[in-house]
Amino acid sequence: MFLHAKSITRQRQLLPKLLQALALQIGQEVSYHELGAQFGVKLETIERYITLLESAFIVYRLPALRGGTRGELSNRKRKVYFYDLGIRNALIQSLQPLSLRNDVDGLWENFCMNERLKWWQAQPSSAQRYYWRGLSGKVDLVEEQNDKWQAFDFAWSGSSSKPPEHFQKVYPDADFQVVDPENFFTWTTQPN
């Protein structure tokens, strides 16, 4: 009986700790294996909890685009985003203005992802969505629809207007766009 109660207490403590860890990794790749090691649980447990959080519309996942070519680093990791950034900020008790924050780029990326999800929900069709990471850089969002590729980099400030070299080699026909505060409104209201 005592062991069962201890196990239940540990499970109850895991969810808030996992949510905080995911909140701190906003805009970064998430490894279930690393989270499992951090909390002393199996990676299957982490995956089950994240699936539960996804079912409750707290978070959603973005898988890596794996073309299997040399120079691509994306593997079994994925990115996890929050539907509500207010909840994310409350989890880590970080409610300062943007000018005082060190996580602005991650917040911007999550915000842009949320807006893109809304944009696709208003469309009659959908697209496959991924992120890409390689030796020469990263692409925050890659969409594929009817063999047409679009790539987006979300930059709060200062970003290259060109895709990473290796990405451009592997996906030469992909349209690439940097989304920043200046062109954000156009990006969310105009067809791509």
Mean per-residue pLDDT for 34-38?
95
Number of separate domains in the chain? 1
Q: What pLDDT sits at residue 2? A: 47
pLDDT at 3 over 50: no
Phi, psi of 65, rounded to the nearest 5 degrees: -80, 115
Beta carbons of 146 and 166 less than 8 angstroms apart: no
Q: Give 10-31 pLDDT, tens digit per residue.
A: 677 899 999 999 999 999 999 9
Question: What is the distance, to the nearest Å, from the Cα of residue 157 to the centroid of all Cα atoms in its chain?
Answer: 19
Around 17, how many Cα atoms within 13 Å sit in the side-chain half-sphere? 14
- pLDDT tens profile 49-93: 999 999 999 999 999 987 655 445 556 689 999 999 999 999 999
Res 178 pLDDT > 70: yes
Q: What is the mean pLDDT of residues 158-177?
A: 87
Q: Write out the H or E segment, with its range, that includes residue 21.
A: helix 2-24
Query: Which tens digits make up the pLDDT trace of 145-161?
Result: 988 999 999 999 877 77
The parent domain of residue 17 ranges over 2-189
Here the CATH number for the domain that contains residue 140 is 1.10.10.10
Residue 166 pLDDT: 87
Tens digits of residue pLDDT in 131-147: 998 887 899 999 999 88
Instruction: Supply the pTM of this predicted model.
Output: 0.88
